[in-house]
Structure 1
Amino acid sequence: MKFVDEAFIDIAAGDGGNGCVSFRHEKYKEFGGPNGGDGGRGGHVFAVADPNLNTLVDYRYSRRHEAKRGEHGMGSDMFGAAGADITLKMPVGTIISDAETGEVLYELLTPGEVITIAKGGDGGFGNLRFKSAINRAPRQKTPGWPGEKKNLKLELKVLADVGLLGMPNAGKSTFITAVSNARPKIADYPFTTLHPNLGVVRVGPEQSFVVADIPGLIEGASEGAGLGHQFLRHLQRTRLLLHIVDVAPFDEAVDPVAQAKAIVNELKKYDQQLYNKPRWLVLNKLDMVPSEEREARVKDFVKRFKWKGPVFEISALTREGCEPLIHAIFRHVQSEQRTENEPVEVDPRFAGDAAA
């Protein structure tokens, strides 16, 4: 299925039905009085976060979505039926914003979450509503209120704990295949990955985290070169970035340090907040380096890269070094989750205001 992470749609909630002017006509009841009912409300438009969806492709080809209008009121005290609601299923992680102003309106972050994105109009009043002691035969009615109409932009940012960064053919897809249940395409040419892949890494019973792999970045990505810049937004919600580097490129003229610096520069140009996220260095394809040269090559890389953060040495192909890495990632993710869930300390002087 084609991966689509951006779409524009028009939605329209249903208009309310009109109120009715009617009078009771029954034998032997000359002045039966008003009996015109109210119109029914228009249908609402809901959005639900469906965990079984991972793309917005359905909305690329189906742009207009309208709910039914409410039925008009009728005589004999009959109110109009409400219009049928419609529910739009969207992937978890979808951001819904105003297409014209860019204002973010809603975010679907929890599986099964349901929000109302357009309210149907209320039904109009029938003349039964206007009956009073001094107005025994009202002929007033009101039309139904219009439903909300919106032009929306849908943007998908996948929800993952860990994001993978790296040049094309750095071994990101091989790594996510080695440690998770994801099965992306793997080949010996650049840009094998054309869209984000999500994998669940199982550390133990009820212990897991989610990894996101995006297409490889190249120099100039922040200006639109290559494919990866289109998907960098999917790393904005991650808690940790793994910068995977190929330390044994086939072309000896390629300098892994220069490539790694280019990735860091593109990240900084794209989004400063993304650049400031915790980032670990993962040196991959060490199985291609003779064992007696590994230590020297790793030290040389770290020294020239001027890296002072965590460094992991792995071979995604043989899974060497992957086990310690995923356990370290799990501990980091758990620590981040505990920090996010800690209660906010309130100054005792303002405790009463906070409670209120």
Structure 2
Amino acid sequence: MKFVDEAWIDVAAGDGGNGCASFRHEKFKEFGGPDGGDGGRGGHVWAEADPNLNTLVDFRYARRHEAQRGEHGRGSDQYGAKGADVVLRMPVGTIIRDADTGELVGELLAPGQRLLLAKGGDGGLGNLHFKSSTNRAPRQRTMGKPGERRRLHLELKVLADVGLLGMPNAGKSTLIAAVSNARPKIADYPFTTLHPNLGVVRVGPQQSFVIADVPGLIEGAAEGAGLGHHFLRHLQRTRLLLHLVDMAPFDDSVDPVAQVRAIVAELKKYDPALAAKPRWLVLNKLDMVPPEQREARVRDVVRRLRFKGPVYAVSALTREGLEPLMRDVMQWLAAQRAAEQPAAPDPRFAQASAPDVDPDAAPATTAARGPGRRDR
């Protein structure tokens, strides 16, 4: 399946049906009165988060989505049927914006979550509503209102707890394949990964997290060089970045320290908030370094970088050092989630939560009533 993380679509809600001006005509009913019904409401356009989708490719080709209009009212007190809604299924993590104004419509962050993209037009009123003591034969009616029409920009940012960062051929795909159920393409040349890959890492019973692998970055990525700049958006939702470093590059003239600094500089250019995320250093491909040189080479890289965060020396190919790394990541994420949990409210001050707003619900009104007979 082709990975598409950006699309533009046009949505149009259904127009409301027109009200009807009709009078009752029956034998022996000389003054039947008005009986024109209301028009039906036009269909809404909804967006729904579907956990089984991971790309916006369906919206790359089907760009026009229009809901059904409401039926017109008819005589004999017959109200028009409302138009059928249209539900657009999108991946979890989709951000929806108005393409003309840039206004944020909403984000789909949980499976099954729904967002109203375009509201259907209200149906018109039939002459049944206009009768009164002074207007026994009203011929008034109202027309249905048009439904909303919008041009929307869809942007997908994958939802992952941990993101892998590094130069091309640093071993990111090998690592995610070794620790999760993801099966990305792995080859002995750079730029093997062409789109993000997601994997679920299971550390223990009911202990798991999602890890994301994006195409490798190169110097100048913030200006458009390579592929990684296009997919950096998928790291913006992550909590932790694992910065993979190739400790055994093909070219002996390549300095791992210079590569780390180049990537950090690109992150700062792209998004300072992304560069400020917690970042751990993962020194990969130790199996290709002679055993007697490993410790000295690791100390040299850390000393020259003056790195203060956690450092792990691993081999994604032989899985050496991966288990302690994944276990520490799980503990760190668990601590972060526990810190973000709101404190339990005091039951003495607990209040009922406000109900969800239904676009079809009529506004609540309170009718003023005069005193009854007993009150007189």
TM-score if structure 1 supplies the norm length?
0.96
**2 CA distance for matches of 1:242 and 1:207?**
19
2:2 is matched with: 2
1:40-83 deviation digits (Å, cap 9, x = unpaired): 00001111100000000000000000000000000111000000
Q: How much does 1:315 deviate? A: 0.1
- Please state how far the C-alpha of 1:264 moved relative to its aligned partner: 0.5
What is the aligned partner in structure 1 of residue 300 from structure 2?
300
* Matching of residues 130-149 of structure 1 within 5 Å: 130-149=130-149
Superposed CA deviations along residues 293-319 of structure 1, whole A, max 9, x for unmatched, are: 001100111111221111000000000
**Aligned equivalents of 1:173, 1:48: Cα separation in 2:** 31
Tell me what 2:30 maps to.
Answer: 30
In the TM superposition, what is the alpha-carbon distance from 1:115 to its structure 2 partner? 2.1
DSSP-derived class of the 1:231 partner: helix
Shift of 1:123: 0.4
Range with bigger deviation, 192-201 or 336-345: 336-345
1:320-331 correspondence to structure 2 within 5 Å = 320-331=320-331
Equivalent residue for 1:236? Answer: 236
Q: Does 1:315 align with 2:322?
A: no
Equivalent residue letter for 1:330: M
In structure 2, distance between residues paired with 1:27 and 1:101: 59
| Partner SS for 2:283 | strand
Q: Residue deviations 1:166-207, cap 9 Å, x none?
A: 000000000000000000000011110000000000001111
Say what the alpha-carbon RMSD is for the aligned residues: 1.6
Deviation at 1:343, TM superposition (A): 2.5
Kindly provide the amino acid, as one letter, of the partner of residue 83 in structure 1. G
**Post-superposition offset of 1:112:** 1.1
Matches of 1:233 and 1:249, distance apart in 2: 27
How many aligned positions are there?
351
- 2 CA distance for matches of 1:125 and 1:265? 63
Structure 2's unaligned 5+ residue stretches are 355-376
Percent of pairs identical after alignment?
Answer: 74
How far off its partner does 1:345 sit?
9.6
What stretches of structure 1 move > 4 A for 4+ residues in a row? none
Is 2:187 aligned against 1:200? Answer: no
* 1:49 alignment partner AA: A
Moved more, 155-164 or 113-122: 113-122
- SS of residue in 2 equivalent to 1:241: strand
Structure 1: runs of 5 or more not aligned:
none
Partner of 1:46: 46
1:352, distance to aligned residue in structure 2 (A): 11
Q: What letter matches 2:68 in structure 1?
A: K
SS at match of 1:28: coil
Letter in 1 for 2:264: V
Tell me the TM-score normalised to structure 2 length.
0.91
Asked if residue 188 in structure 1 is aligned to residue 199 in structure 2, the reply is no
1:102 maps to what in 2? 102
